[in-house]
Amino acid sequence: SRAMGSTLQFYFLGKKCDILQDMNRHLEAVLKEKKALKKMLIKPRCQDSLPIEATCHKYIVELLIEAVTFIEKLESHLQTVRILPQVPNIMKNMDTVLAKTEMLVIELEELADQILKWRELHKRVYSD
């Protein structure tokens, strides 16, 4: 059992060592390519046209449509957020307009009553 445990420990240590060596080789390769990487990072990517496999074209088109939809919705949401601080003033203005409308309705009803009375009066005058 003890021999089995130490064998497993050596196995896992060996695995860790292999992983570290792989990482070390990768980092060495990155350092060797440092100049090329710097050039790639500085150069604007929009000037490159990256080849896209034909099988992916459909997905790229769908992705672009989704991106456009997202941007349109984002614009709409941003406008809503910009309006939010003004909502109390808008509500106050709506209350004022509603009160004025109610006053106009009352005045209109009074005017309609006066017209009906005037009409009745003229009917009597003409019938006499």
67 closest CA partner among 75, 88, 28: 75
Tens digits of per-residue pLDDT, 15-60? 888 888 888 888 888 777 777 777 777 776 555 565 677 777 788 8
Mean pLDDT in the chain? 81
The domain ranges of the chain are 1-43, 87-127
Q: How far, in whole angstroms, is CA 25 from its chain's centroid? A: 43
- Specify the length of the chain in residues: 128
Residue 109 has what pLDDT? 95
Quick one: pLDDT at residue 3? 59
Confidence of residue 12 (pLDDT cuts 50, 70, 90): confident
